[in-house]
Amino acid sequence: MVSKTRKTRQKAPGGRRTPSPAKQQTLRSLIEQVGADVRALGERVAACELRQKEMLAAAARATDDLHAREDEAQAAVYELQATIQPLRMAATGASPEEIARHVDYLGLVSGVRRIVRDRVPRQARVLVVGRGDEELVRLFGRQAGHFPQDALGDFAGEYPADDAAAVASLDSLVAAGWNHLVIPATSLWWLDHYRDFRVHLHRSWHAIHRDMETCVIFAHDPAQPGPWQECDEFLAEFMRSESRSPAMLDWETGSELAAFFPRCAVFPPVDRGVDALPYLDRSIDIVAVPWGDSARRSEARRVASAAVIEIAMPGIVGPGFQIVIERLGRHATGANGTTAANRLGLITPACRP
């Protein structure tokens, strides 16, 4: 009987058999090949991503070029229409005075279009307070509509009965996706007639352009805080800690603080045009002063016990309000517990390209 010998392989710790050197070499080769393949794939992915970015950039440039050409073509159409309309009026017997007024109005329309082209994104949805003039809603390809408007999107045919109606009409259109409001110079009387509507715009919207000879433009972006937000937060903190509304001295800011803060006791100084206030130190909760008046700001710090607010009216340093609030004394610590003593917090209005 022939005995058979069995070849034994060395076992690794734990009872596992150790692969033969040949198999170990094969495994190493496979691992190296897989690593090389992974690196090659990573390089290909990186190259594809770079190429994609280049293609997207090229597409963006091509789109910008296309939009620029469309705008140039549209501008030529607008210019041609502006040239033809006075000739048509003359042919129908219009007086020179009527033609001159119409030419001036066409200049206003042209200016509004140019500003919208420069200041308002192409994807914006633009409302225009334009008395139903169809020319004012032709704005270089932007989706534009009348304000106020009826259920079909046509001019409503009449103005809002009061401020509440104007605000409600605007808010309903915002809920429907409209996000810009253009008020041409011929409709700026709205901001005087509908005072609460004006306050609503400055509170909930952002003034992005202000030219009283042409138009004022507001943008609505819920993601961006309005210029009055920090003041609102401070007043809320004050009322929680003091269990009362603050007294606020409006030292000739011109900003109608009583309309912005109806729950506060807002009052003017006893005498106008003075450089010193006839009040005791820290005797008034909040003192508001005009922008850039360092002397009044210093005097306000003496009188105020909770805060000094510096206010720039629209048109002074930007199209909208700009506000600096300085918290004083024990009110210098914010709601989150952080110390803000003698800290100036600048709130700037949104300015979209």
Q: Which of 92, 123, 157 is where one domain is finished? A: 92
Do 249 and 284 contact (CB within 8 A), yes or no?
Answer: yes
Does the pLDDT at position 342 exceed 60? no
Inside any domain, residue 100: yes
Q: Is 247 helix (H, G, I), strand (E, B) or coil?
A: strand
63 and 136 assigned to the same domain? no
84 and 113 assigned to the same domain? no
Q: Which of 67, 92, 117 is where one domain is finished? A: 92
176 and 118 assigned to the same domain? yes
Does the pLDDT at position 350 exceed 70? no
The one-letter amino acid at 132: G
Q: How many CB atoms lie within 10 A of CB 75?
A: 15
| pLDDT per residue as tens digits for the range 43-56 | 888 888 888 888 87
Q: How many domains does the chain have?
A: 3
Range of the domain at 50: 36-92
Band of the pLDDT at 280, cuts 50, 70, 90? Answer: very high
Inside any domain, residue 249: yes
Inside any domain, residue 19: no
What's the alpha-carbon Rg for the chain, to the nearest Å?
A: 34
123 and 83 assigned to the same domain? no
Inside any domain, residue 10: no
143 and 237 assigned to the same domain? no
207 and 287 assigned to the same domain? no
86 and 102 assigned to the same domain? no
User: What percent of the chain lies above the pLDDT cut of 70?
Assistant: 88
Q: Which of 92, 107, 132 is where one domain is finished? A: 92
Q: In terms of Cα–Cα distance, which of 111, 117, 245 is closest to 184?
A: 111
Model's pTM, two decimal places? 0.76
pLDDT at 347: 33
250 and 324 assigned to the same domain? yes
Starting at the edge strand found earlier in the chain, the sheet holding 125-128 runs: 143-146, 125-128, 180-184, 215-219, 206-211
Q: Which two tokens stand for residue 21?
A: 């050197």
Helix H or strand E segment including 264: none
DSSP 8-state class, residue 288: E
Inside any domain, residue 47: yes
Inside any domain, residue 264: yes
Q: How many CB atoms lie within 10 A of CB 164?
A: 13
131 and 210 assigned to the same domain? yes
302 and 255 assigned to the same domain? yes
Inside any domain, residue 3: no
Does the pLDDT at position 77 exceed 50? yes
pLDDT at 56: 78
- Estimate the share of the chain in helix, then strand, then coil, as percent rounded to the nearest 5: 45, 20, 35
pLDDT at 57: 76
268 and 308 assigned to the same domain? yes
Alpha-helical runs (H) found in the chain: 21-91, 96-119, 163-175, 190-193, 195-204, 229-242, 257-260, 294-303
Inside any domain, residue 275: yes
100 and 51 assigned to the same domain? no
The rounded distance, in Å, linking the Cα atoms of 28 and 34 is 10
CB-based contacts of 289, cutoff 8 Å, min separation 6: 251, 253, 296, 297, 300, 308, 309, 310, 311
**Helices and strands (H, E) in the chain, number of each type:** 8, 11
| pLDDT per residue as tens digits for the range 137-189 | 999 989 999 999 999 999 999 999 999 999 999 999 999 999 999 999 999 99
